[in-house]
Each structure stands twice: as C-alpha cells, then as structure tokens.
Structure 1
Amino acid sequence: MTRQTPYDIAAVRALFPALAAGTAHFDGPGGTQTPRPVIDAVADAMARPLSNRGRTTPGERNADALVTGARAALGDLLGADPAGIVFGRSATQLTYDMSRTLARTWAPGDEVVVTRLDHDSNIRPWIQAAAQAGATVRWADFDPATGELGADVIRALLSERTRLVALTAASNLIGTRPAVAEIAELVHAAGALLYVDGVHHAAHSLVDLEGLGADFYVCSPYKFLGPHHGVLAARPELLETLHPDKLLPSTDAVPERFELGTLPYEFLAGTTAAIDFLAGLDPAATGTRRERLAASYAALEAHEDTLRAQMDKGLAALDGITVHSRADNRTPTLLLTFENHDTADAYAFLAAPERLVHAPSGSFYAVEASRHLGLGDTGGLRVGLAPYNDSTDVDRLLTGLSDFLTR
C-alpha cells in the first residue's frame, strides 16, 4: 500500500489567512505567520469564562486546563517533563530571570562561557550576571569562513571553575546547528550547566531535551506558528534547587515559582493549537502526539531541504552574492550580502508592492555573530523558510534578487 504524501503544501498554505495578502514571507526566523486553528484557539479561550486558576468556578477550571494543556503540549514538543515547563513573556525575559537566579550561586573567579554565534539574549544576560557576581566571561568563537562552532572550541575553554555554558542550538543569523549533545557531555564532565537557546532551533527540528543534554532550553512559540510568549524547559528536580525572587503570597511550587504574575491563558491555548497543527503536517502520521510530531517534523525538514536546495542553486547562478550560511548542519536560513549593493536597499526593493517578497535586512540581535563575520552591526539580508513557503515563493525571491542586482 502506498503511503499518503506526507507534506501537502497547498493544504498547509490554505490555513494561513495572512498569505491571502500575497506576500512571499521569508521572515519566519523573526516570527511566523499564524494558522487559522491557532487564531481560533486564542479567540475561543477569550470567549469562554476565564479567571485566575482554580477548581471551583468555570472560569477557574478553564484557566487551569489551558495551563496544564499547554505544559503537556510543550512537553511533547520538547521531549521534556511538563512539570519542568516554565512560561514567561519572552525567551529574553526568561533568560534574564534565570541568569540572575543562577548568578547567586557564583563567586569571584568562577567562569561562564558564551559564544559569538548566539543571539544577544543568550549572551548579554550572562555577561551582566557574571559582572555582578565577579565571575569571568570566556568567549567561544565560530569559524567565519564556514560558520562552524566545533566542540573542540568549547572544550578548550572549560575548567574546574566553569559554572555555565550558554549555547545556541541553531543560529538565528546563519542557521548553524552546533553539536549540542557532544558539547553537553563536555560541559557536564566539567561540572557545569548548559543553557541552550532553542528559539530558532525548535522551528525546524524536533527537540529532545534529554538527548540534547541541555539543562535549560528556551524557545518562543511565535517562531513556530504560535503566539508571542516564551518557554523554558528544564528538569523539575533542577528547578527545585533554584530560588528566584518572587512575591511572598505566590506559590513556591515548581514550575510556578518562576512564573511572575498571571499567565496569558489565551496565548497558552494558541500554543497548544500550534503544536497540534505541527503534529498534523504529516497527514499520514498516527500514534501519540509526540510520535506524530516526529513524523511531521521529518516531513517538514524534507520539504524545507527541497526548497533550500532550490534557493542554493538559484543563488549560485547570480553574480555578486555572498552566502554566509555554510555550516554542514544548518537550518534553512541564509544570510546574504551583495557586491556594491546595500542589503537594506535589497530589502526595500523586494518588499515593493509589485514584488511583495519579505526578506528583511539586519543583524537581528545576533550582533556578535554579525561583527565576527565582518559585517559590523549592519548584518545582511536574511532569508528564512517556514512551513508555509513553497517553490513559487522561492522563484519570486530569486527573480526579485536577479532584478535587484541587474537593474
């Protein structure tokens, strides 16, 4: 029996109302468009009774169900214990909060490792926390020619005084996916913790918290079709050892002790819907939600690999373009610069009404990576794929770039 085609891009695109405006979106690394089931889930949550969590009134029960449902969905998405899922306003906010909490355990002479491949939200909080504790910051550099950040680079920086390594699972600027699991073994052998920024990674790869070896993993649902908020995943027993600042009457239970104020219940409903949507990208997938997510991510990666190959071939045929995304293992996110042309001009040219191609220009808060590539704070033109992109989008992008370079 022939298995059903795993990825029906036309059916996927039909569920994104924003695509009706006609824009070819390559801005997914900065935030994806929203499918109808997510929109409906947010609206439905707000249309029903809602109040602070509890078990007495309908509003209390609805709020509690939305929170526990979202924790369960994210547990399936990240291969994590739902009891270790923490919600926050953003990944940046969660990282700042965790950096302040962890820094209380550091002393002068302790060391923290950060990388130049990372988004600044996984660099600056650690630098600032280290300064307050009197700890030393050590920098891991990637190879600007290849975009690679090898485990040997991290190994050379570890010592008995290393307390934490902050590492991206995928660069939001050039797509590089370091060998996180291999690096985690080195970090743990040194007696340190590994804090992983998975904001870009979770949009393209099925996450396995234990398999990665991450002690902490942060992501943002709006990068994988959901609403705007942040998520941190960790082992509950690790969270139990940490004591953040909190209000006196607020619970000390894990994970709630890390969540400040009332949660955005309607956004949690949307996040659950986004994960269920991702689990349905392979219509032939069966089994648990985690099993369906595994099949759907495999289908998504195959789809994105096909489109990336189309982009790579088309870009290679154009003169005057430098592609800075060269790592062997990377997401379908490319950073481009042009000879004798400003990438901000390319961004505006592509976005014009007669083209409606959205590929933004900048460093996208990965300022250390941009500088290390020799691009200063300006960066380049970032082209990133999302589940709703198709080959027609890629054709429009390539045609637009060709016209820009030859106008």
Structure 2
Amino acid sequence: MKPLTVEQLRAAFQALKQESSVKPYIFFDGPGGTQMAQQAVDAMVGYISQGMANLHGAFPTSIKTDALLENGRKAVADLLNCQPKEVAFGQNMTSLAFSIARSMAPFISASDEIVVTELDHRANVDPWITLAQDKGATVRFIPVNPETYTLELENLSEFITEKTKLVAVGLSSNVTGTITNIAKIIARAKEVNALVVVDAVHAVPHLTIDFRELGCDVLLCSAYKFFGPHLGIAVIAESLFEKLPVYKLAPAPQNIPDKLETGTQNHEAIAGLIGAITFIESLGEGATRPERLKTGMEQIITHELELTQRLENSLSRLPQVRLYRAPADTPKTPTFAFTLDQVNARDVTTWFAQHYNMCIADGHFYASTLADKLQVNHMGGWVRIGLAPYNTLEEVKLFEVGLQEFIKQHIK
C-alpha cells in the first residue's frame, strides 16, 4: 500500500481547519476523545436532516432507522471480527459495564472470586466490585509493577484460581499506553472456566482488534475514542449473551442484542459510528470491508509510530521529566504520562493551553488505583499527551520546544 500523508489524514477533520486569523488548536487529547471525522459528522447530520423516527414502524423513516441499527452492528462486526447480533449499543462503556455486571449476578455466589487489575480505568473495575459486593464475593487485584508499569503475570495462577468466576482486564492502559498480554490472562481464565471482560476503549483507536481471536466473553469500547460520537459499544459472545438475564421492560424484545439496549437508542450517534468506521475503511485497501478496515488501521499504526518514537525519545532525555512508560520490549500505544519536578499537572496543561493552544490533559484519568500506587495525586496526577493519526511531526516538535521553555521558567 502507498503510505498516507498526514495531509490526507487531516483533511477528514473539520476541527483542524481553523481560520487563518485564529491560532489553531493542537489536539493532544486523543485518549480522552478524538476529533470527529467528517464522515461521522455527515452521517449524523444526514440522519437528522432527512427524517428521524423510532423503531419498528411501517413508515419509511422508521424502516430506515431499523436498517441503521443493523448497519451499525454490521460495521462494528467488520471492525472487530464478531457477529452483528453480538453487538449492543449504549450510553457509554461505563453504563454498559454496569448493566452487564448487574445481569451477571445469577452467575456469582458468595464463595466466588472476581479478578480485576491495578492498571485499569475504574470503568472496568467498579462495575465488577459492585457485583462482588452485592453477592458477597471476593475481589482480587492483579498488581501492577511500579517500575515497569505492566501487570505482574508471572504468578497468575495465584490470582486466577478455581474460585475465580470473572476476570476483567484492559487491553491497553489509558495512562501509560501499556498493552497488556491479555492472551495469557484469558488462557488462564479459561482453564478455570471464568468469564473474561476486556476493556478495549483505549485499544481500538490504535490496534487491530479481533474478538474471535482474543477469545474473551465481553469486549467494551467507545466510538468517540475512534473518530466518532459519544456512544458505548459492547460485544458479547453469543453463548453468554443468550443466557444473560438483563433488566428490561416487560414488552421489550427478548432476543439478542436488543434485550440489552434499554429504551430508545441514540440513533444519530449510531449513524455517526458508521461514518467513523467508514473513515477508517477509507484509509485502507482490499476486496472486502474487513480487509479495508484492517489495512486502514495498519496505516494509522504506521503513521503514529514515527511520532511515538520521536516523543518518547525527547521526553526520556529530560532529567526534570519522570516518564511513566513501560520498557522497550513491551508494546505500547502512543499515549504518554509524565510528571515534572515540584509542579502541579494542572499548571502544566494550563500553561500549554494559554501559550500554545495545545489540548493536553491532566489528572488520574480514572485509573485511580494506579495513581494511588504511584503516588501522583499530590501533584494533580499526570500530564498526559496522547497522539492521534491527525497529529503531525511539526506539532510534536512544537510541544518539545514548549516543554523546554516551561522547564526553564518554572523549574530551577
């Protein structure tokens, strides 16, 4: 394939097309949510402007909306290699996780154990802790190594035991970018017949994901992290989904995936999701949509790699910067968390916003267990800079200049 230019990538994002009289934003907040691709915007506006309706009617706009949901499921299925009927939509990943956790209650008893991790966003921790509390079950945490920012998997059988009924793990950290060896975790979980829930919210924008190959039971992600609108997505293996006794209204459908989708869905957001997936597809080549999506993601990965290497090298060379980054032999996403000596993280991000119009985030990013263990909360958490495919080498260089300027002004 012919490599894409950054100009081609940026052309799809209206938010990057600032007027010449306005200092342009530089978006380094991809892990918190990417900008929306024009295909997603157009799809949302098209659905809204051409007649909206609820489902299951005999009239054309309702029939169109029925088809929209089915097309949305098919698009996700092609992106993540699952069945369309295994795809459910919701308000966000967190709400879906709580709903799924509540529906799993009949499978958990007081003698059981639920395993979560110290590395994860709390959206893949607290729903399962709540489930354990409701059932009187025990919660165990797979620890994170405070030096490598990776999960300690050497003695995995000590954490995932015959008592384990559910394991929840993130595919990649939304703070450090660490990509976890979840194949090892899933293999151990299956040895003891435990269910596995994977948080792929941070992973889907940066990796090719294969639900079938992973072998997990539930995979959760969010469209606004990969160029679409705010919408949660759950992929639930058919064998489990059919058995889930979800909380629902009596007249609502009993079949999957409809039974998990309580109330009226955000139809315009589902249209935007299709548009976002269409954007990824437009970057690739192949005879089928799955092939184009796979090669499209490979184009994104290739583009981000150059910027990742540049930024990692520059951050690791500054003695005033503590970079929370896994070793070179550990795969990582282009997401960087760091702290500066004696400086509150909010002061750093405010300065960059005021002086460079850079959108850089700060805080614990809901990975609060990790923040507690690494003792960063007294500094306002981390400064996090996360790359997206529309970022450029010039933007990264400008950040490097700005960071050195900040250090000179604020650190003696």
1:8 aligns with 2:9: no
Give the C-alpha shift of residue 315 in structure 1.
1.7
> Is 313-322 or 334-343 further displaced after alignment?
313-322
Give the C-alpha shift of residue 207 in structure 1.
0.7
TM-score of the pair, normalised by structure 1 = 0.96
Is there any run of 5+ residues in structure 2 with no aligned partner, and where? 19-23
For 1:68-217, list aligned pairs within 5 A.
68-217=70-219
| 1:326 match | 326
For 1:2-401, list aligned pairs within 5 A.
3-4=1-2, 6-21=3-18, 22-54=24-56, 56-282=58-284, 285-327=285-327, 328-352=330-354, 354-376=355-377, 378-401=380-403
CA distance in 1, matches of 2:334, 2:174: 10
The letter of the residue matching 2:227 is L
Is there any run of 5+ residues in structure 1 with no aligned partner, and where? none
- Runs of 4+ deviating beyond 6 Å: none
SS in 2 for 1:232: strand
Give the C-alpha shift of residue 317 in structure 1.
3.5
1:24, 1:396 within 8 Å by CA — same for their partners in 2? no
The letter of the residue matching 2:15 is A
Give the C-alpha shift of residue 306 in structure 1.
0.5
SS in 2 for 1:202: coil
CA distance in 1, matches of 2:317, 2:186: 39
1:141, 1:153 within 8 Å by CA — same for their partners in 2? no
1:357, 1:396 within 8 Å by CA — same for their partners in 2? no
1:50, 1:58 within 8 Å by CA — same for their partners in 2? no
Give the C-alpha shift of residue 50 in structure 1.
2.4
CA distance in 2, matches of 1:183, 1:276: 32
Residue by residue over 1:323-378, the C-alpha shift from the partner in whole angstroms, topping out at 9 and shown as x without a partner, is 102241111101010112222111011111x4111111111111111112221373
SS in 1 for 2:406: helix
Coordinate RMSD, CA, aligned: 1.3
CA distance in 2, matches of 1:50, 1:341: 50
2:143, 2:152 within 8 Å by CA — same for their partners in 1? no
SS in 1 for 2:107: coil
2:118, 2:141 within 8 Å by CA — same for their partners in 1? yes
Give the C-alpha shift of residue 104 in structure 1.
2.3
Match for residue 405 of structure 1 among 377, 402, 407:
407
Mark the CA change 1:153 to 1:121 in structure 2 (over 3 Å): closer, same or farther. Answer: farther
Give the C-alpha shift of residue 154 in structure 1.
3.3
Identical aligned residues as a percent: 34
SS in 1 for 2:17: helix
CA distance in 1, matches of 2:224, 2:270: 11
TM-score of the pair, normalised by structure 2 = 0.95
The letter of the residue matching 2:307 is L
Mark the CA change 1:383 to 1:153 in structure 2 (over 3 Å): closer, same or farther. Answer: farther
